[in-house]
């Protein structure tokens, strides 16, 4: 029998939490036809990430995954704005709210790192790879250039890359190699939390496997937290311990990866899982009918209601609360509210 329990949105965290996200709301302030508009990309999102785990964030394109990651990193430059919420990071035995920090760069790389989408293109084309490493090391560690270069050589070799790449310019490396360089840079100072935004999307399948393996090997070695954004549910199934499912800027379900795949609760999660191909099953897989909503003018109530075959009157009027179902399983849907 499923036990249903209303939970306080700001009190989702468990004891081994390293990052606690509460009521996070942010989006883009843009101008359309000379008028200001607000794209409500992340709305009242709540979740937590634990030490030594891979947490996946999944959902279709435009659901707010990448925006959420930028906000978690504190990379909030206009037009991206944060309206409310907390991103609490545990550093040693202290906690800080990343969004209230005056100098967020003080925690970047060392405590929290970010691998942006298409990161293979973020390297400065007129700098050799070694200059990227030396600059990163010297920003955070008080060493001279020679010592930083020595550290870079040792580090690059320790992750299985040739030290020769340090002398190359980015354009002299393949896309997969550039991706590995960016990941190596992001992990070099052993951050407690690594945010990776679609790290395998822009590379071919063979390179994808190597890039993922590199991320996972480092996560296991450092026993830190990898938050992995990918719309690829196959990757989610293979590498994550837990998954947050997002729809139209909302966190709609959070739980252990096995539970999400074996018994999806939210109608959107069910549709995502049902659309996946299965070996030996030749029945036609159907995609979800309809389109995600316009986030400048999202629908009232549950944002999924125009596409939901279970929608009830209350779904069209009121936002569903977050319901705790069993241990560390959360869903935001009126179907699970006892009335």
Strand order in the sheet with 35-50: 35-50, 17-32, 80-91, 94-97
What single-letter DSSP state applies at residue 192?
A: S
> Is 304 one of the binding residues for ligand SF4 (CB under 6 A)?
yes
CB 320 within 8 A of CB 302: yes
CB of 312 to ligand SF4, least distance (A): 6
> Is 267 one of the binding residues for ligand SF4 (CB under 6 A)?
yes
Q: Which residues lie across from 37 on neighbouring strands? A: 30
* Candidate segments 51-59, 188-196, 229-237, 312-320, binder of ligand SF4 by CB under 6 A: 312-320
> Is 7 one of the binding residues for ligand SF4 (CB under 6 A)?
no
> Is 320 one of the binding residues for ligand SF4 (CB under 6 A)?
yes
Tokens of 284: 């036609």
On the CB side of 319, CA atoms within 13 Å amount to 12
Those residues with Cβ within 8 angstroms of residue 285's Cβ, 6 or more apart along the chain or in another chain: 274, 275, 276, 277
Closer residue to ligand SF4 in complex, CB, 244/333? 333
> Is 288 one of the binding residues for ligand SF4 (CB under 6 A)?
no
Q: How far apart are the first and last CA of the chain?
A: 17
How far apart are the C-alpha atoms of 1 and 21, rounded to whole Å? 30
CB of 259 to ligand SF4, least distance (A): 18
How far apart are the C-alpha atoms of 155 and 134, rounded to whole Å? 12
Closer residue to ligand SF4 in complex, CB, 28/310? 310
Closer residue to ligand SF4 in complex, CB, 149/268? 268
Closer residue to ligand SF4 in complex, CB, 209/317? 317
> Is 212 one of the binding residues for ligand SF4 (CB under 6 A)?
no
Angle at 40 between CA 35 and CA 46, to 5 degrees: 160
> Is 292 one of the binding residues for ligand SF4 (CB under 6 A)?
no
How far apart are the C-alpha atoms of 138 and 42, rounded to whole Å? 35
> Is 310 one of the binding residues for ligand SF4 (CB under 6 A)?
yes
> Is 333 one of the binding residues for ligand SF4 (CB under 6 A)?
yes
CB of 198 to ligand SF4, least distance (A): 25
Residues that bind ligand SF4 (CB under 6 A): 266-267, 302, 304-305, 308, 310-312, 315, 320, 333-335
């Amino acid at each position: 029998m499923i036990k249903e329990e209303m939970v306080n949105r700001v009190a989702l965290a468990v004891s081994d939490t390293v990052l606690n996200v509460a009521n996070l709301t942010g989006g883009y302030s843009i101008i359309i036809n000379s008028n200001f508009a607000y794209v409500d990309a992340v709305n009242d999102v709540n979740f937590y990430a634990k030490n030594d785990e891979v947490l996946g964030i999944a959902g279709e394109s435009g659901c707010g995954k990448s925006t959420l990651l930028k906000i978690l990193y504190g990379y909030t430059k206009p037009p991206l704005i944060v309206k409310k919420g907390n991103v609490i990071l545990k550093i040693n035995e202290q906690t800080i709210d990343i969004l209230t920090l005056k100098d967020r760069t003080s925690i970047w790389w060392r405590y929290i790192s970010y691998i942006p989408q298409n990161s293979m293109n973020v390297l400065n084309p007129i700098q050799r790879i070694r200059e990227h490493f030396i600059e990163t090391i010297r920003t955070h560690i008080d060493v001279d250039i020679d010592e930083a270069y020595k550290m870079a050589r040792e580090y690059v070799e320790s992750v299985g890359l040739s030290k020769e790449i340090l002398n190359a310019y980015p354009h002299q490396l393949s896309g997969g190699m550039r991706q590995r360089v960016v990941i190596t840079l992001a992990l070099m100072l052993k951050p407690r939390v690594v945010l990776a935004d679609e790290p395998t999307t822009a590379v071919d399948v063979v390179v994808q496997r190597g890039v993922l393996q590199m991320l996972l090997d480092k996560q296991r070695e450092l026993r830190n937290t990898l938050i992995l954004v990918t719309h690829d549910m196959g990757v989610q199934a293979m590498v994550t311990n837990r998954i947050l499912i997002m729809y139209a800027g909302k966190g709609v379900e959070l739980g252990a990866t096995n539970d999400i795949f074996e018994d999806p609760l939210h109608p959107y999660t069910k549709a995502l899982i049902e659309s996946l191909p299965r070996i030996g099953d030749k029945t036609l897989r159907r995609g979800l009918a309809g389109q995600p909503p316009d986030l400048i003018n999202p629908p009232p109530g549950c944002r999924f209601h125009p596409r939901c075959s279970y929608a009830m009157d209350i779904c069209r009027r009121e936002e569903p609360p977050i319901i705790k179902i069993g241990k560390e399983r959360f869903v935001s849907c009126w179907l699970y509210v006892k009335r």
